[in-house]
Structures are given as C-alpha cells and as structure tokens.
A and B are shown apart, each in its own frame.
Chain A
Amino acid sequence: SAVISQKPSRDICQRGTSLTIQCQVDSQVTMMFWYRQQPGQSLTLIATANQGSEATYESGFVIDKFPISRPNLTFSTLTVSNMSPEDSSIYLCSVEWAENSGNTIYFGEGSWLTVV
C-alpha cells in the first residue's frame, strides 16, 4: 500500500483563522480524498481532490470553506477556512489503491484540529 503523510498532525487554532493541511503520498495515485471525523462520529467525505481541476465536493461542503488543491498525483492540501469550534475534528487524507482483489481506501495519520 501507499505511505500517506499528513501535516500538521495536531494543532490548536484560533477562531476565525484558517489552516492548511498537507498530504503527501509516496506513490502516484489517481484518486485522493479528504474526510472529516468529528468527535464520536464516523467518517464523512468532504471532497475528492482532482488533479489539475477543481475538487468535487460532497453535499454540505463548499469550496469557500474547504478549498482543496491537487497540483500533482502525489500531493494535496485541504484548507479549513474561517474556523469555528464546530470545525474541531480529525481531518484525514486518503487514497484509492488498486490491489489484486479490488480497490481499497487507505488513510493518512490524520490531522487533529482543535479550534478555541
């Protein structure tokens, strides 16, 4: 499987500020995704990061709040803009990886954000 690195791993952010999370993969991958996991909740897909074009956002998520870049097949960033305490969450980068039996989603280590 691919090795997926995220940074920062953890941060405490002030209300109203923005933070950019970086995701680096050690292999070229076609599909990269960003998930959010709020405390006590499951994983919610924010968007698919498309290389060379605008990200595809899921219902309830918008580009102004969560701008995403995907400049190449190994790197993506997610920005959480104008943060509020409700944005306190784990943000996870993930990639689709082809294996013999089928395609699988793997996750990075996650970025734990606390907004105060």
Chain B
Amino acid sequence: QKEVEQNSGPLSVPEGAIASLNCTYSDRGSQSFFWYRQYSGKSPELIMSIYSNGDKEDGRFTAQLNKASQYVSLLIRDSQPSDSATYLCAAASGGSYIPTFGRGTSLIVHP
C-alpha cells in the first residue's frame, strides 16, 4: 500500500524564521511530488511540484527531493503569519498521476 507520511505538528516558528516541513513516501516507483497548502476552511492549493532529485526554488519556497532516501521536504524562508496553514505532501507513481496524500503538517508562524 502506498503511503506518504508527515509529522502532523503543529510546527511553530517565529516570524522571519525558516520553516522546514518533511515527508517520506513508501512507493519507490513514485516520480512526481507535490506540496499543497491548505488554509482552514479552504481547499488545497498547489505551491510546489518537484520531479527530479535536488532542490527546486520558487520565491520563498524550496522543495528538496531525495529519491534514494524516499524523502521530500519543503523549506519556507522568511516565514510570515500568512504562511500559517496545513501543508500536504503528495506523491504520484510513474504512469499514474493520481497522487497519494499525506495527512498534512500544521504550521503556525507567530509574530
């Protein structure tokens, strides 16, 4: 059974700090990885996708992928209170783009 594991948190960081969110996945055939942000009462919003080993940066967000360790992370630099949300990690296998989702990590950025 394909699984994506995340620490449920909450992860609490001060404003301006780097928030580090981690995720592991069980299916070695996974080839596509996603981070979604979900505010309370809202639907998930895609913030990053990553498909190859290494880092991918987009503004304040950096996704890191290590397929050998089956590990994906999301770094949020200069964290803002508006970043407070649940972050969902997802992984999809090659040939099927239907991702399996983790349960999400709650991030709280306090002023």
Contact = CB atoms under 8 A, between A and B. Distances in A.
Given A103-B32, A107-B43, A110-B43, A43 B98 contact: no
A43 B101 contact: yes
Interface stretch (B14-22, B44-52, B70-78): B44-52
Contact of B43 (A92, A99, A102): A92
Interface residues of B, number: 21
A88 interface: no
A31 B92 CA distance: 15
Nearest to A109: B43
Contacts of A48: 98
Nearest to A1: B46
Interface of B: 32, 34, 36, 41-46, 49, 51, 88, 90, 92, 97-99, 101-104
Interface of A: 1, 31, 33, 41-43, 45, 48, 90, 92, 96, 99, 101-110, 112
